Structure 1
Amino acid sequence: MQTNKQILPGQTIGIIGGGQLGRMMALAARHMGYRIAVLDPTPDCPAAQVADLAITAAYDNMDAIRELNSVSDVITYEFENVDLQAAAYLEKEGKLPQGAFALEITQNREKEKQLIKKAGLPVPDFAIVHHGGECEEALQNFPFPAVIKTCSGGYDGKGQFKLTSKVDVQPAIDFAAEKGHCIIEHWIPFDKEISVVFTRSQSGEITYFPLAENDHKDQILYKTTAPARVSGKLEEKAIHAAGRLAEEMNVVGTFAIEMFVKGENIYLNEMAPRPHNSGHYTMEACNISQFTQHIRAICGLPLGKIELLRPAIMVNILGEDIGGTLKVMQEQSEPFVHLYGKAEAKTKRKMGHVTFLGETMEELDKTIEQFEEARQ
């Protein structure tokens, strides 16, 4: 059940999840005049620091969910592992325009891949296994390289590993025996990875942000470049695929789909039913950010027309990068630095991001090189 009423400034938006995405949603909403309530188990989490009300409780605590419902006019979430019982309750209450279905699909890699396949969209070959014996059988004729992942949970490379040859078969069997429900996917030798970040309103209107090109280090997103360096024909394919899935899933709000590019072909990888790390560049590079557009969608407001103001590169700041980045902040005025207010800097933990704007991609590439040298 989706709400179609407009939620106006002065009313309260509830956010499930208090991390950096919740924080940036909250900041965008506060600029528009909304009040913010956040539910998160961690006191003084990033989103709570900019909220009017913080409810400190587990995400599946139904008493806390009911409290959030009582103080909010509309509710959204910043991550996909929301308790489905809680989501169904909030949807029934008419407070969750995004609904529970997108969460159900994106929480489970099997359901995600099956839905993509059902929609007639390109996806790498895959097999579903539930234990070590099924894994052994599936790998007998499965092409290498491949990757095995848990069907639920896992992010930034966690809960998965790559199989390069038959030497990796036994470790994969052991992995499946330990984890249970897993997916084995053919590893596409792709040229690049792109993201399609879009927003769909409650009435079905869709706006697309410029395609972004992603680079990873140690399976964590390191850098996003926009616009992606792809042909117009491939861009059309990617946008068509995203629109097809948006309609199939009745998406509301900002949504992201990661895709592999091989030549002029695309292969859909994973989806995120909320604003995405690869869309952070929109905060400076576009006339309207992925967060503002998301707030407009869940509040039943018309979506803004998207324009790319200047090419951009966004670089993530991990725990091990924070000292060097602060040094650059003190010495240079060019980068747009966003820090998330996390209490402790841990290795590989996303602490913030930096966005650079430029006139050309060549100029931006040089700027990133200089930035990396300066923060060593």
Structure 2
Amino acid sequence: MGSPLVIKLMDCAKAIADGDLKFADQLFSDMEALSAAETNRVTKKVVDYFAEALARRVHGVHPRNPFPLLPSSNLKKISYEPSPLEWFACMSTDYAIRDVLNVKKNKLHLIEISSLVDCWQRHSLEEYLLHGHHGMPLSFQYTSIRPKLSKNDDYLQENRRMITEVAQRSPVDFKYRALFADSVPDIVESVLRLERTSEDEIIIVRWVFQLHKLLALEGAVDKVLSKLKDLKPDIMVIVEQEADNNTDDFFYRFASSFKYYLNLFESLELYATNLSSLIWERHLRWQICNVVASEGIDRIERHETLARWQQRLYGARFCSVSLCSDHFADFLYDFSAYKIEENSGFPVLLAAGHPLIFASVWKPANATHSSGGE
């Protein structure tokens, strides 16, 4: 982070933290001049995004749309190549589920609270329904709690049609339910509505880049974890960004976030694909604006480290289930620039030695079923 442009960005953030807006305005002008001379494309892009976020903080202007929108008119034509982050998220759940499916029950209910786009959702469903897993129950219900990615009804109908087509090719009885949650209270309310239909049911809960958002609303995490503990899922998989930006110390949050997002963008640059790259870049750009420019309940991108989430889950009377990193050999073959290391039995995805995201697996401490080692 030693380039003149980055140093000037840090000085600008420090000036804003100290309330010296006149000096900050001068530094904004200096950054514009330095930006043209920056030769590293990723560094220039990330500095631009953080400078935009600083300007939004100063002027109180926040982006309206927190989620990437998909063009509904082109939905049928989309060719989507998942990013390494999505592959890691899906494979983490996949391997955790295999042991659970050995339990002889007739029903499987997969509950996913996710911010991933619909084209990845359909890919994930195809993996479960068409390729199948050993011990797959005869009945499979999929509940998706997610934001709306478009206000266009045609888009929603087309998405449901595509999912129905996948289900019709499957040998199992499939049911699909979508609960739309565009805010933290919406997520909480959707989770509180979940119910177990019978004891002859395997319940799997998967949080994909969403659980951290509950930290914006006081008491939301405790309320949701208490509900899920009562639901008695066989496992709960959590995939989150391994970052440390949930602090009221603005300058620390800014500096820590810049280092994290610079590493993240550099890693994604190696595997950029058209739609996936565009969607992730738009989403991460909004994250940066939210982390830097917003405060209070409006700041929902409150990423924390794996160690902090472990403390919180243990405190809520969940126990951990090991997820061996040896399972990820195929992933590392496809994405050789990444490395996976174990931390307390959980896989952490790294690039150039920097932790980016982690997956962890949990079950209620009072669970009586068998779902893997602790």
Normalised-by-shorter TM-score class: 0.3 to 0.5
Answer 1 or 2: which has greater helix percent.
Answer: 2
Which one has more relative contact order, counting CA pairs under 8 Å at least 6 apart?
A: 2
- Structure with more of its chain in strand, by fraction: 1
Q: TM-score, normalised by structure 2?
A: 0.36
